[in-house]
């Protein structure tokens, strides 16, 4: 076994750090702070963080082939021009659900952007059930609803052969697998792949590695877990120095580093005192496995 090393690389704390994406052309990690309504970019060479504020909670960010980013914020899809800091809306959804917002999202192997919604809590611990959905934004800006009656649409990725789509609805405490038609972008035939154990708490973000195994961030579980989709078994656990672990992605020059986001929102004063690193972004090295480059939205 390699010796695993965990270090904090982004000390600027995030209320709800999420959706890390490695951007090769910038040597940078792009991510969002949902509750601060910001898209952020950490330059791994200069160690600087730049951020762009937007006008709603932003659940996810992805690369665009032509530069800049596609984001899912509030209940709309938009493009973000990093240089001008301008946001251009391309599709508005769920106007009839004022408590909903977009959450996690990712681009598929053909350049389509998948992102899902969720109901916000109306008061602590109170949330309308099954209000969310999963959408696909096609390169021609056409939007298709793939799933509805979702609680908290969360982590997502595709198998290396592009025949399976993996998705997390957090309140199901499980990772689901769907048949995937890469030519049409359609999903079908849902099955439970992995049910989380009690101490793993709730599944959040997710990514796949170059061996086809899934890594799942466990919010309130303080860990990422590695799942084998062939067997449906957990094969590795890596514990981190923060409890609210939100998402993960591979990056670095050969995709051998894992970047893990975390949150401090949801922790009271006593918990924050015990967790000085809550909200920071961690880099894990020595995992002995690499990731694959992120796909870019085709338009």
Q: Is 83 annotated as a binding residue?
A: no
Distance CA 99, CA 95 (A): 10
Listed in sequence order, the residues at least 6 apart from 222 whose beta carbon sits closer than 8 Å to its beta carbon are: 239, 240, 242, 243, 244, 245
**200 to each of 65, 104, 251, 271, how far by Cα in Å?**
36, 20, 24, 18
Q: What DSSP element (H or E) covers 91?
A: strand 86-92
Which residues make beta-bridge pairs with 34?
none
204 is catalytic: yes
Residue 143: helix, strand or coil by DSSP?
strand
Is 121 annotated as ligand-binding? Answer: yes
Which tokens in the block code for residue 88? 């251009």
Question: How far is Cα 222 from Cα 102, in angstroms, rounded to an integer?
Answer: 24
Q: Is 25 annotated as a binding residue?
A: no
Strand ranges of the sheet holding 223-228, from the earlier edge strand across to the other edge: 202-208, 214-219, 223-228, 233-239
Q: How far apart are CA 64 and CA 77, in angstroms?
A: 13
The HSE-up count of residue 166 (CA atoms within 13 Å, CB side) is 28
- Half-sphere exposure at residue 186, Cβ-oriented, CA atoms within 13 angstroms: 3
Cβ proximity of 289 and 236 under 8 Å: no
Q: Is 101 annotated as a binding residue?
A: yes
Contacts of 231 (CB under 8 A, 6+ apart): none
Say whether 154 counts as a known binding-site residue: yes
In three-state secondary structure terms, 172 is: helix
Q: Is 47 annotated as a binding residue?
A: no
Choose the catalytic residue: 204, 209, 228, 254.
204
Catalytic residue IDs: 204
Binding residues: 18, 101, 103, 121, 154, 204
Binding residues for substrate: 101, 103, 121
Binding residues for a divalent metal cation: 18, 154, 204
């Amino acid at each position: 076994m390699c010796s695993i090393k965990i270090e904090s690389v982004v000390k600027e704390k995030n209320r709800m750090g999420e959706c890390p994406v490695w951007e090769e052309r910038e040597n940078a990690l792009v991510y969002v702070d949902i509750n601060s309504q910001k898209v952020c970019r950490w330059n791994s060479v200069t160690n600087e963080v730049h951020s762009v504020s937007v006008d709603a909670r932003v659940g996810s960010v992805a690369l665009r082939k032509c530069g800049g980013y596609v984001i899912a914020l509030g209940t709309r899809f938009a493009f973000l021009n990093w240089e001008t800091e301008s946001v251009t809306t391309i599709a508005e959804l769920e106007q009839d659900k004022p408590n909903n917002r977009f959450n996690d999202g990712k681009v598929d192997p053909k350049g389509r952007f998948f992102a899902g919604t969720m109901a916000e809590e109306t008061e602590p611990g109170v949330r309308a059930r099954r209000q969310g959905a999963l959408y696909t934004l096609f390169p021609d800006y056409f939007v298709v609803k793939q799933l509805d009656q979702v609680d908290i649409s969360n982590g997502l990725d595709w198998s290396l052969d592009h025949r399976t789509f993996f998705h997390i609805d957090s309140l199901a405490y499980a990772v689901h697998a769907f048949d995937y038609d890469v030519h049409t972008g359609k999903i079908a035939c849902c099955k439970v792949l992995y049910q989380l154990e009690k101490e793993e708490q709730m599944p959040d973000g997710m990514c796949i590695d170059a061996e086809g195994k899934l890594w799942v961030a466990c919010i309130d579980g303080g860990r990422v877990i590695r799942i084998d989709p062939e067997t449906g078994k957990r094969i590795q656990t890596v514990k981190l120095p923060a409890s609210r672990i939100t998402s993960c992605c591979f990056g670095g020059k050969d995709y051998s580093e894992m970047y893990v986001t975390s949150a401090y929102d949801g922790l009271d004063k006593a918990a924050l005192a015990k967790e000085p690193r809550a909200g920071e972004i961690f880099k894990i090295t020595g995992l002995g496995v690499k990731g694959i480059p992120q796909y870019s939205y085709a338009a």
